Structure 1
Amino acid sequence: MKFSKVTFALFLSLFFLNSSFAQKKPNIVFIMADDLGGRDLPVYGNRFNEAPHISKLASQGMVFSNAYAAPVCSPTRASIQSGQYPARVGIFDFIPGHWRPYEKVTVPHHEVQHLPNQIITIGEAMQSAGYKTGYFGKWHLGNNPEHLPQNRGYDQAHTYVGGGFYNPRFTPEYPSNEQKRLSEVLTDMGINFLEENQNEPFFLFISHYDVHVQLDADKELISKYLNKENDPNYSNNAVYAAMIEHVDLSVGKIMETLEKLGLAEETLFIFYSDNGGVNNRFDHIPLLAGGSLEVYPEGHPLRYIATTNIPLRAGKGTVYEGGVRVPLIVRWPEKIKAGIKTEALVSSVDFYPTFVELGNGSMPENQVFDGITMLPILTENKIDPERELFTHYPVYHHTVPMSALRKGKWKIIENLVSGEFSLYNLEFDLSEMTDLKFSYPEKLEEMKSVLKNWQQSTKAQMPKPNPDFDPAKRYEWGKNPFAN
Structure 2
Amino acid sequence: MLLLVSCGNDDSSGTQDDDGTMQSSVPNILLIIADDMGLDATPNYNIGSQKPNMPNLQNLMNNGITFNNVWANPVCSPTRASILTGNYGTNNGVTRVGNQLSNSAHILQNDMANYATALIGKWHLSNDVNQPLSMGIDYYAGILSGGVDDYESWSLVENGITTTSTEYVTSKLTDLAINWVEDQDQPWFLWLAYNAPHTPFHLPPTELHGQGDLPTNQASINSNRLAYYFAAIEALDTEMGRLLQSMTTEERDNTVIIFIGDNGSPGQVAQAYGQGKVKGSIYEGGINVPMVISGKNVTRLNVTDNNLINATDLYDTIVELSGNTTTQSNNSESFKAILSSTTSVNRDYLFSEVSYVGGTADFATRNVTHKYIRFTDNTEAFFDLIEDPFEDFNLLDQTMTSNELEIYNDLKSELDNTLN
Same fold at TM > 0.5:
yes
Pairing 1:420–2:379 present: yes
- SS at the partner of 1:380? coil
Any gaps of 5 or more consecutive residues in structure 1?
1-15, 96-112, 228-234, 280-304, 457-484
Partner of 1:252: 241
Q: Judge conservation of contact 1:145–1:151 (CA < 8 Å) in 2.
A: no
Partner of 1:404: 364
Pairing 1:434–2:366 present: no
Partner of 1:206: 192
Any gaps of 5 or more consecutive residues in structure 2?
1-11, 17-21, 216-223
- SS at the partner of 2:415? helix
State the Cα RMSD in Å. 2.7
Q: Judge conservation of contact 1:134–1:156 (CA < 8 Å) in 2.
A: yes
Superposed, 1:60-459 pairs within 5 Å as: 60-95=63-98, 113-126=99-112, 129-147=113-131, 149-161=132-144, 162=148, 164-172=150-158, 173=161, 179-197=166-184, 199-218=185-204, 220=206, 221=209, 224=212, 237-258=226-247, 260=248, 262-279=250-267, 305-310=268-273, 314-363=277-326, 365=327, 367-384=328-345, 387-395=348-356, 401-417=361-377, 419-437=378-396, 438-439=399-400, 440-456=404-420
Please state how far the C-alpha of 1:250 moved relative to its aligned partner.
1.7
Q: d(CA) in 1 for partners of 2:59 and 2:175?
A: 21
Q: Judge conservation of contact 1:211–1:244 (CA < 8 Å) in 2.
A: yes
Please state how far the C-alpha of 1:138 moved relative to its aligned partner.
0.6
Q: Judge conservation of contact 1:133–1:203 (CA < 8 Å) in 2.
A: yes
Please state how far the C-alpha of 1:391 moved relative to its aligned partner.
1.1
Structure holding more strand per residue: 2
- The count of corresponding residues between Structure 1 and Structure 2 is 381
User: What amino acid does structure 2 have at the position aligned with 1:254?
Assistant: L
Q: d(CA) in 2 for partners of 1:119 and 1:405?
A: 25
Between 345-354 and 309-318, the greater mean CA deviation after superposition: 309-318
Pairing 1:55–2:66 present: no
User: What amino acid does structure 1 have at the position aligned with 2:188?
Assistant: F
Q: d(CA) in 2 for partners of 1:205 and 1:244?
A: 18
Please state how far the C-alpha of 1:114 moved relative to its aligned partner.
2.2
TM-score (norm 1): 0.73
- Is the alpha carbon distance of 1:203 and 1:390 closer, same or farther for their aligned partners in structure 2, counting shifts above 3 Å? same
Deviation beyond 4 Å, 4+ runs, structure 1: 16-23, 173-176
Q: Judge conservation of contact 2:156–2:163 (CA < 8 Å) in 1.
A: no
Between 31-40 and 47-56, the greater mean CA deviation after superposition: 47-56
- SS at the partner of 1:56? helix
User: What amino acid does structure 1 have at the position aligned with 2:381?
Assistant: S
Q: Judge conservation of contact 1:216–1:239 (CA < 8 Å) in 2.
A: yes
User: What amino acid does structure 1 have at the position aligned with 2:243?
Assistant: I
User: What amino acid does structure 1 have at the position aligned with 2:173?
Assistant: L
- SS at the partner of 2:179? helix
- SS at the partner of 1:224? coil
TM-score (norm 2): 0.84
Question: Which of the pair has more CA radius of gyration?
Answer: 1
1:416-473 CA distance string (max 9 Å, x none): 21x22211111111011111234133322221111112111xxxxxxxxxxxxxxxxx
Please state how far the C-alpha of 1:22 moved relative to its aligned partner.
7.8
1:303-356 CA distance string (max 9 Å, x none): xx2232548981111110000011101112243332121111111101111111
User: What amino acid does structure 2 have at the position aligned with 1:75?
Assistant: P
Please state how far the C-alpha of 1:164 moved relative to its aligned partner.
2.6
User: What amino acid does structure 1 have at the position aligned with 2:330?
Assistant: F
User: What amino acid does structure 2 have at the position aligned with 1:136?
Assistant: I
- Is the alpha carbon distance of 1:353 and 1:18 closer, same or farther for their aligned partners in structure 2, counting shifts above 3 Å? closer
